[in-house]
Amino acid sequence: MASQKTVDIGFTLDDFAALLDKYDYHFSPGDVVAGTVFSLEPRGALIDIGAKTAAYIPIQEMSINRVDQPEEVLQSNETREFFILTDENEDGQLTLSIRRIEYMRAWERVRQLQAEDATVRSQVFATNRGGALVRIEGLRGFIPGSHISTRKAKEELVNEELPLKFLEVDEDRNRLVLSHRRALVERKMNRLEVGEVVIGSVRGIKPYGAFIDIGGVSGLLHISEISHDHIDTPHSVFNVNDEVKVMIIDLDAERGRISLSTKQLEPEPGDMIKNRERVYEMADEMAAKYREMLIAKASGQPLESIEIPNAVEEPLDLVEEEIPSAMEEAEIPPEPVVAESEAPVATEEVTVEA
């Protein structure tokens, strides 16, 4: 019987393990890696990312949007990017996510939109006691009730598409807050000018002034801008639903405020109280003089040739927080108007199933 010889190839099992370690990739949570789908499971998928053990992506991590079947997102042998969600478990298996990649890109996109001061449109999908919920680039956004400019009840807004501006984009705090009011005011402001006379109706009266509806948005006629003569309360001059002529004296798109005046339209001080019809009849003429004054002031020209009522204006010593936003019908607390508990986070937490 022929004897067998053992051939020494100079390569042991320890050498082989060391070689595997040498070429093994080291993965860490937060890394974005390429992977290939090689098995679709009922509630997830196995992904080859070059690790010793196949990584796993649960169905909850496959998309920002709801996924019922893995096949809705992934296909066998498909190669794409994955986010490493957790470190290896006791079996050496990593957990992956597509959802986190989509969130990162969504936050980047909304930050860009905010920087551009863009107006976006989104459909209301739910309401709560604080306001309404929408989705922007897949993120859940919140519209505080004080920033919803409509006469409809909040519940009636579900499924309605609204134009929106960004109030707060904070990825660290997971908050995305938007304003319907600001979007409407900006759109209206694009068609309005300081010094323009507009006709509106009194929508509400507060101790500090009257809210005037001018074509679907509200402007504030502050009590100090009603007349040169002292007024104890706006109720002594106006009633709700009164039709009024007012002049625009300020447009603040940043705060969403339109400031109005009838005082600047008075031919004589006190005419809004004593002879309102004369004020309305001469409104265009007085507004033209007001615009001339603004032009002269901007160019540094003397104002002697422009006839403006010479009554001394009442001082308006208000801190910023006391000035209500012009689009609101009720007194507004200092911004931010959203309590921490009322503003839902923009991303939704899910339970990861291995």
Burial of 44 (0-12, 13-18, 19+ CB in 10 A): buried
Give me the DSSP letters along 46-64: EEESSSSS-EEEEGGGS-S
What whole-number distance in Å separates Cα of residue 190 and Cα of residue 117?
Answer: 14
Strands 217-222 vs 257-261: parallel, antiparallel or unpaired: parallel
Looking up tokens 């109030």 gives 167
**Contact predicate 126/132, CB 8 Å:** yes
What whole-number distance in Å separates Cα of residue 147 and Cα of residue 105?
Answer: 27
What whole-number distance in Å separates Cα of residue 266 and Cα of residue 230?
Answer: 14
Residue 150, Cα to own-chain centre: how many angstroms? 17
Per-residue pLDDT of 92-135, as tens digits, reads 889 999 999 999 999 999 999 999 999 999 999 999 988 999 99
Domains of the chain: 14-97 (2.40.50.140), 116-190+332-354 (2.40.50.140), 192-317 (2.40.50.140)
Per-residue pLDDT of 28-86, as tens digits, reads 888 899 999 989 999 999 999 888 788 999 999 999 888 999 999 999 999 999 999 98
Closest residue by Cα to residue 179 from 141, 217, 123: 141
Per-residue pLDDT of 143-180, as tens digits, reads 999 899 887 888 889 999 999 999 999 999 999 999 99
> Three-state SS for 194?
coil
- pLDDT band, residue 15 (cuts 50/70/90): low
Q: Where are the alpha helices (DSSP H) in the chain?
A: 13-23, 99-115, 180-189, 271-274, 276-281, 283-299
Per-residue pLDDT of 261-279, as tens digits, reads 999 999 999 999 999 999 9
Sheet with 120-123, strands from edge to edge, namely 120-123, 161-170, 175-179, 139-144, 131-136, 126-128
